[in-house]
Amino acid sequence: MIGTHWGRLVSRSRSVGGPAGGARSVGGACGALAAVALATGVAACGGSGSSAGTTSASQAAASTIPASATNASANAPATTTTSGSGSAGIAAPGTKLTVGQSAKVHYTPAGSTDKSKASTLVVTVQSFDKGTLSDFNGIQLDANEKASTPYYVKVHVTNVGPNPVDVDSTAAAIEGVDSTGNNQSSVTFIGEFRRCPDSASTKPIGAGHGYEDCLTFLVPGGIKRISYNGTTDYIDSPVTWAPH
């Protein structure tokens, strides 16, 4: 039954920020309440600029869902050429797309200035669906969370290379944009959320392979579009996807 969820819900985020899309916080906001959650059951917490988090006592130590790594040649959708494409087919900062389209983008691990660790990704936003708070039945929500509108976004990410990447770091670069224009982090479960199962993992994904993921956004007023912010250039002017 979708209405019952066990697990911890924490923010995905990168340790960088920028004025164009709002700041990204470092890590989730639930750490301080973890001990309380273990004593009292399911608890919820959150902070500005990121989606809220919840913790379940019975599953606080549950393992993450493994990454659904796939072979890029068999599963990756074709990259859509747009007027915003730069050299070598790389999407220029500020490129505007619609859900269903793909963008080839640069990626640098958060906080890294070492260009030798950079890679190239093909990011496809496959779907953009509005949920309801009933999807979170069984999870204690605070007043801010109860005023939120959930959205579920399915993405496919292919690592073109040359360096390995992982789900957690690359998925954190895909964010929601709220009605004020600020970026909002998705949330990820340690445990199970059947409505939108995520593929949280730090297992390296080599060049030519990729993964599919479902991102959950729990934001007051919901999100209006998706942004990619995987380098400092994209932080200042992200690639965005709007629903049809």
Could you tell me if residue 169 is inside a domain?
yes
Contact 98, 242 (CB under 8 A): yes
Range(s) of the domain holding residue 195: 6-242
Secondary structure of 122-164 in HEC code, one letter for each residue: EEEEEEEEECCHHHHCCCCCCHHHHCEEEEEEEEEEEEEEECC
Contact 125, 173 (CB under 8 A): no
Could you tell me if residue 1 is inside a domain?
no
pTM of the model: 0.72
Q: Domain holding 158: CATH number?
A: 2.60.40.1240
pLDDT tens-digit series, residues 150-170: 999 999 999 999 999 999 999
pLDDT tens-digit series, residues 157-214: 999 999 999 999 999 999 999 999 999 999 876 667 889 998 889 999 999 999 999 9
- pLDDT < 70 stretches in the chain: 1-87, 189-191
Could you give the CA distance from residue 59 to residue 149 in angstroms, rounded to a whole number? 25
- Give how many domains the chain has, as a whole number: 1
3-class secondary structure, 61: coil
Could you tell me if residue 167 is inside a domain?
yes
